[in-house]
Amino acid sequence: MPTGKNWEAYGRMGERYGPLISVSIGPVTMVVANTYAIAHDVLNKKSHIYSDRPHISLAEMVGWDLTTGLLAYGPQLKRTRQMFHSELGTRALVESFHGQIQSQARTFLTLLRDEPGKLKEHCYYHAGAFILRITYGYTASVSHDRFLTKSENAMVELNEALAPGRYLVNILPFLRYLPDWAPGTAFKQDVKIYRRNLLDLLNSPLKWVQENMKLDEAEESFTSKWLKRGLTNEDTDLVMYGAGTLLGAGPETTAITLDCFFLMMILHPDVQAKAQAEIDTVCGRHRLPTFEDRVRLPYLAAVMKEVQRMHPPVPLGLPHSTTQDDIHNGYFVPKGSLIFANVWNMSRDRSVYPDPFKFDPERFLGPEPQQDPADYVFGFGRRVCPGKLVADASLFITVAMSLHAYTFRPPLREDGQFDVPNFEPCEGLTSHLKPYNFDIVPRYSQGAFDELLNGKSVRGL
């Protein structure tokens, strides 16, 4: 079983054996769909039997199997997704968050100006602070926020727990039933730590909302809205796990995409300049971009699509599982099989994206645009990310404001040459980029910038 950047290994196997490959690990059959066409056929068109999650022993021992992302397909998942859809599932609902999103983006601009060397931290804070606001009505602290710290730590632990080959109990489930003193059960100590941290992540913000509701001081949020309905204990648990899933997974994936955007601008100054010129033409130099400008910024939209294609945050997706036997194009897929959509390989499919390793936003423009990566980077079928519309809105306004306010470039070395960073994705369930250095050049004077952040019109620029 490949380790490391396994999405690349499965892609190479697909070139040799075909776009649909199967690997047997003991009694478990693992199937990898290396093309969008196959993933669409099974995960979208047959979602009624391909939407379960596999039994992952360590996840079950910790309690991650009750979070929305890993929850088994059934009534609880359907109910949770209904909850998400009622608050986040339409563009009209997302429009109600536009003011909060724009306010958070202005804070992000200030953080970039004041401490540009902490880009990754700023990206995570920016994504997480907005999610905390809409999910719990909580205003995050800029530095070392307690809930964001819990979220980040939980995702590190989840990445570790689901890494291929990291925990033998995921392959040999009987190990979980051995006594703690038996050889091969050291993983149980990790389980205790992971479980304690997960429960803390889930319970702490929920209790914070409940306490503020008792004082009649709770801001309207996903959690408070549902708690006000007088839920059953089961539904209250669904709200807790659903909100915790947004807090756990949402900041990381959005932050990864933002981080990649800035690196692509640094590596491709011509693209950056063209996007800035488009923004300047639409908005002028006297105000920041708004959501109303979006329809007139097609090149910027293409840039964001290319960023998502270049670096999908979850390259191999989360595994689906079949609830019954199936035959697809003559291939037998037994019940309980693990189905992976190799999102990374889809984004590098030469039959869909000519010259796939080139960063080229133009591929999404013109009369025959290439496939929108949103078709696959947010998941498939009944497992599509419930926060995709919110994430899309947040990413748009953040990159638009950032390009309007700043230019990003490689740092200068002592010899006067640019120290150009490399595009280096890391292995993991979620794939971060290796840290890189850059310089940030303001496009406004300090005074003009402050006026823009305060919503004032800047004249004479």
Quote the pLDDT of residue 460.
46
Instruction: Kindly state the DSSP code that residue 52 receives in the 8-state scheme.
Output: B
- Residue 447, in any domain of the structure: yes
d(CA 202, CA 217): 21
Side chain identity at residue 223, one-letter code: T
Give the largest CA-CA distance in the chain: 75
Q: What is the pLDDT of residues 169-216, one digit of tens each?
A: 888 889 999 999 998 899 999 999 999 999 999 999 999 999 999 999
- Residue 152, in any domain of the structure: yes
Rg, C-alpha atoms of the chain: 23
**Nearest partner of 243 among 392, 100, 22, 88, judged by Cα:** 88
Quote the pLDDT of residue 413.
85
Q: How many CB atoms lie within 10 A of CB 436?
A: 20
Domain that holds residue 390: 56-310+373-453
CA angle 385, 391, 394 (to 5 degrees): 175
Quote the pLDDT of residue 444.
87
| Domain count for the chain | 1
Report the chain's mean pLDDT, rounded to a whole number.
93
Instruction: Kindly state the DSSP code that residue 39 receives in the 8-state scheme.
Output: H
Quote the pLDDT of residue 1.
59
Quote the pLDDT of residue 450.
83
- Residue 205, in any domain of the structure: yes
Owner of token pair 């693209």: 271
Q: What is the pLDDT of residues 226-266, one digit of tens each?
A: 999 888 888 899 999 999 999 999 999 999 999 999 999 99
The pLDDT of residue 458 is above 80: no
- Residue 439, in any domain of the structure: yes
d(CA 264, CA 307): 7
**Nearest partner of 343 among 36, 44, 70, judged by Cα:** 36
Q: What percent of the chain has pLDDT over 70?
A: 98
- Residue 39, in any domain of the structure: no
> Mean pLDDT, to the nearest integer, of 62-70?
94
- Residue 179, in any domain of the structure: yes
The pLDDT of residue 3 is above 70: no
* CATH number where 377 lies: 1.10.630.10
- Residue 432, in any domain of the structure: yes
385 marked ligand binding residue = yes
pLDDT band at 454 (very low <50, low <70, confident <90, very high): confident
Quote the pLDDT of residue 456.
65
Quote the pLDDT of residue 58.
93
Quote the pLDDT of residue 2.
64
pLDDT band at 415 (very low <50, low <70, confident <90, very high): confident
Q: What is the pLDDT of residues 88-121, one digit of tens each?
A: 989 999 999 999 999 999 999 999 999 998 999 9
- Residue 129, in any domain of the structure: yes
**3-class state of residue 312 by DSSP:** coil
Q: What is the pLDDT of residues 20-48, one digit of tens each?
A: 999 887 778 899 999 999 999 999 999 99
The pLDDT of residue 55 is above 70: yes
